[in-house]
């Protein structure tokens, strides 16, 4: 298992890059490179070769290998099946081809249309006055419908298959793994928009939709915890199929309609048992902590990504990994 951390590619993340290396982390999870700054290269897009090469070299200069990219070109038209979707998918194919040229092995994507992960509160009091995020679906019921209108689950399955039939052959040729992230929260519909990556059965349907060694999953434990109480069983199910390509290591307390994030050492899931199970099924991909608390002295400007909270999570996970290794 490759313990990694999400490190944005821009120059503002230089302190974070140094700190995660000092904490013993050797792998970065990157976004897409910036192409509108002082180092812009002509008309390059973020998914073109030169910006990706420059980004990868920046990580390597800091002592970090680039284990995955967790960012996407625009895909709303592709998800809704609108005119222009082929151009959006072309950009994804270009990204994957260039990731293959650069030896970046995993692309984390999602199939949430119109909006991504949702929370109704990003300052829920937790241990010692720290802050975590939470979701209460009752509060979302009064939200207005999505501007683009309703979107059915049937349409999302159709557009996902269309997308995969275009992209999977490119990923196979490039030797890049496609790791689907769950809907967050795994609940449908929200504001009239269906969501399909919200159950263990639906994940199996994804894998069977376009069978391929590169068609797999991001096992975000917080979301899967809202689908099932038995995370080790999920790890075994998909790990034995060799379909777990990336792990978001976190926990939540509550139900899919009303939950809060937790500290890594204070949730309902036996995280050590989860790590043992990943080891048993032979998972050897990247794993990063996700959605950490904001603690005293740190900013809550980016909820879930507190600097001090990340360092706590990295140390906690490193300790558990060492116990498993012994």
Structure tokens at 93: 């194919």
The total domain count for the chain is: 1
Averaged over 137-154, what is the pLDDT? 95
Averaged over 175-187, what is the pLDDT? 97
pLDDT given at position 77: 97
Quick check: 99 pLDDT over 50? Answer: yes
Which domain does 103 fall in, by range?
2-325
Quick check: 215 pLDDT over 70? Answer: yes
pLDDT given at position 38: 43
Quick check: 144 pLDDT over 60? Answer: yes
pLDDT tens per residue, range 113-139: 999 999 999 999 999 999 999 999 999
Q: Specify the residue for token string 């974070």.
A: 16
Quick check: 227 pLDDT over 90? Answer: yes
pLDDT tens per residue, range 34-71: 876 444 555 789 999 999 999 999 999 999 999 999 99
Task: Tell me the pLDDT of the chain averaged across its residues.
Answer: 95
User: Percentage of residues in the chain with pLDDT exceeding 90?
Assistant: 90
Identify the CATH number of the domain in which residue 72 sits.
3.20.20.150
pLDDT tens per residue, range 12-28: 788 888 999 999 999 99
pLDDT given at position 39: 47
pTM > 0.85: yes or no: yes
Averaged over 76-84, what is the pLDDT? 97
């Amino acid at each position: 298992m490759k313990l990694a951390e999400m490190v944005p590619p821009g120059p503002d993340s230089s302190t974070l890059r140094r700190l995660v290396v000092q904490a013993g982390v050797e792998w970065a999870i990157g976004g897409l490179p910036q192409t509108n700054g002082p180092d812009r290269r002509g008309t390059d897009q973020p998914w073109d070769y030169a910006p990706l090469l420059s980004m990868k070299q920046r990580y390597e200069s800091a002592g970090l290998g680039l284990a995955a990219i967790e960012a996407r070109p625009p895909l709303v038209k592709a998800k809704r099946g609108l005119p222009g979707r082929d151009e959006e998918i072309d950009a994804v194919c270009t990204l994957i081809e260039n990731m293959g040229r650069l030896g970046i092995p995993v692309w984390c994507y999602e199939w949430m249309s119109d909006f991504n992960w949702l929370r109704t509160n990003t300052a829920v009091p937790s241990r010692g006055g720290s802050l975590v995020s939470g979701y209460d679906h009752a509060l979302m019921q009064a939200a207005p419908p999505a501007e683009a209108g309703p979107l059915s689950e049937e349409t999302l399955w159709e557009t996902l298959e269309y997308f995969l039939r275009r992209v999977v052959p490119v990923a196979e040729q490039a030797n890049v793994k496609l790791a689907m992230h769950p809907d967050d929260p795994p609940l449908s519909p929200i504001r009239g928009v269906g969501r399909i990556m919200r159950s263990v059965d639906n994940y199996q349907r994804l894998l069977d939709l376009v069978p391929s060694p590169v068609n797999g999953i991001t096992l975000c434990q917080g979301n899967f915890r809202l689908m099932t109480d038995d995370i080790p069983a999920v790890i075994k199910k998909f790990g034995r199929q060799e379909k777990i390509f990336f792990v978001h290591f976190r926990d939540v307390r509550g139900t899919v309609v009303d939950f809060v994030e937790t500290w890594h050492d204070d949730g309902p899931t036996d995280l050590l048992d989860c790590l043992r199970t990943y080891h048993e099924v032979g998972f050897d991909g990247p794993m990063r902590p996700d959605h950490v608390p904001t603690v005293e002295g740190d900013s809550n400007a980016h909820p879930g990504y507190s600097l001090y909270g990340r360092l706590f999570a990295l140390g906690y996970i490193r300790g558990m990994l060492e116990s498993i290794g012994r």
